[in-house]
Amino acid sequence: MANVGSPKQCKRKLLMDVVESQLLYGAEIWANALNTANYRNRITAEQRRGALRVACSYQTISEVAVLESASKRETGV
C-alpha cells in the first residue's frame, strides 16, 4: 500500500488487524521458533512494515516511534 492515493485509514487498520490475527492464530505452535533470531527478525520486520502503512509514515522513522504512532492511530487517541 502506497502512502499517497491508497486505502483510507480505516481500511489500513482492517488489513493490519487481519494480518495480526493470522500471525496470532498459531502462536502456541510457533512461539518456540522466536528463540531463533532469524524468525524473530522476520516477524519484527512484518510488524514494522504494517505499522508504517497504518501510520502513513516514511521508512526512515524508528521502529519504536512507528509502533507507537500506529497504536495511537488504531485507538483513535
The residue written with cell numbers 505452535 in the block is 29
User: Which pLDDT belongs to residue 7?
Assistant: 62
Residue 73 pLDDT > 70: no
Measure the CA–CA gap between 53 and 46, rounded to whole angstroms: 11
Amino acid at 63: E
Give the domain ranges of the chain. 13-75
38: Cβ contacts below 8 Å, ≥ 6 apart: none
pLDDT tens by residue, 7-58:
676 777 787 778 778 777 877 887 788 788 888 888 888 888 888 877 777 7
Please tell me the distance from the alpha carbon of residue 23 to that of residue 55, in angstroms, as a whole number. Answer: 20
pTM over 0.75: no
- pLDDT at residue number 51: 81
